[in-house]
Amino acid sequence: MISVIADDLSGAAELAGVAVRHGLSAEVQTRFEPSARVEVICLDTDTRFLPPAEAARIVGAATREVMAAKPAGIFKKCDSVLRGSVLAEARAMAGSAGRPRIVVLSANPKRGRIIRDGRYFIAGRPLHETDFARDPSHPRTTAVVADLLGGDLTGVTAPDAQSMADVRARAAALDPQTLPVGGADFFDAWLLTQAVGRSAVQTGDLAPGRGPTLLVCGSKASWRQRQGEAEAQGLPVFALPHAAAAVLHALRSSRCVLLGIGDGPATAGLSPARLTGQLAETVGRILRDATVERLLLEGGATAAAVVHAQGWTRLIAGTEAAPGVGVLRPFDLDRPWLFIKPGSYAWPREIWPG
């Protein structure tokens, strides 16, 4: 069994999808369950928004649990633009796993996200000149990778990577005493270096249908765009405050609705956690009272709020819907299927309902 530790649910889902693409069975877990009969377990510690010391404590404890299960390999998933307590979590995981060296490679060349001369670029633009400069929780005010990581980098390597050939070369050069930390492209390359035995359970052949769909947007920044996309297709749109009865009626008649926080007066003065909690509460009401085949969840915080509210701790990974879009199903249910993507990416055209 290979174990991944991720700091948010969308990252865990993304790497589970990569594992399935490699022909491996995978689960996303919010509480470590080593008895799962799968080749890859992606554990979400939900630590992206915690202070470094608290995030490190949780990741260190999770790593000790994972190492007790004697995994064939371990990988630390971090945000592609290094948001969160990346260095603190990496050091905690490396310490608990007995890995004296760390390689951090968060570049995703397949998505136009590269590192050149120690600086991060997205589609040719320095990171701090992109929309990430206005990230509400982790504004990226520099493109210098060492500054984004912060702190003492002794024993930590953060190499350049301008192509998948660069990423594959770094993965191939890793030794057993080095902890790999990075994004989807690094994990993709690293998996090719791992010898993993096949289990009796294969999850990649599982696939959702195209039934009733609830598209959930927990991002204020993305709301106007999602609203415009939905209205262009004639889909009902609901922002806070939600009238659950109206949402249910629209879902039954239209079979697809957009549900979100929005950016209206109802959001004023409320914390992101409170807003996301209200959104998850409405989603729970819909799931209780209607059949939902697909839940399209935008952003790790939104996905985590919904999953935690439902008490789901194990999610089976199916085939990726598109690069970066993980597809999961609660372990003991045949629906809903959760489509989860990072908030920093748009929904691929082939995923958008309609």
pLDDT at 72 over 80: yes
- Alpha helix ranges (H) inside 123-270: 145-149, 164-172, 184-191, 220-232, 244-254
User: Closest Cα to residue 61, out of 78, 43, 42?
Assistant: 43
Higher pLDDT, 47 or 352: 47
Span 81-92, pLDDT tens digits: 999 999 999 999
Identify the band that residue 200 occupies on the pLDDT scale cut at 50, 70 and 90. very low
Span 297-351, pLDDT tens digits: 987 789 999 999 999 999 999 988 888 888 999 999 988 999 998 776 778 777 7
Whole-number Å distance between alpha carbons of 181 and 301: 21
Looking at residue 204, its pLDDT comes to 46
Looking at residue 76, its pLDDT comes to 98
Looking at residue 320, its pLDDT comes to 87
Looking at residue 347, its pLDDT comes to 81
Mean pLDDT of 231-248: 93
pLDDT at 268 over 70: yes
Residues 6+ apart with CB under 8 A from 315: 13, 27, 28, 29, 307, 328, 329, 330, 331, 338
Looking at residue 197, its pLDDT comes to 54
Mean pLDDT of 239-257: 93
Looking at residue 205, its pLDDT comes to 46
Mean pLDDT of 67-80: 97
Span 118-167, pLDDT tens digits: 999 999 999 999 999 988 889 999 999 999 999 999 999 999 999 999 99
Whole-number Å distance between alpha carbons of 121 and 48: 22
pTM across the whole model: 0.92
> Do residues 148 and 132 make contact, with C-beta atoms less than 8 angstroms apart?
no
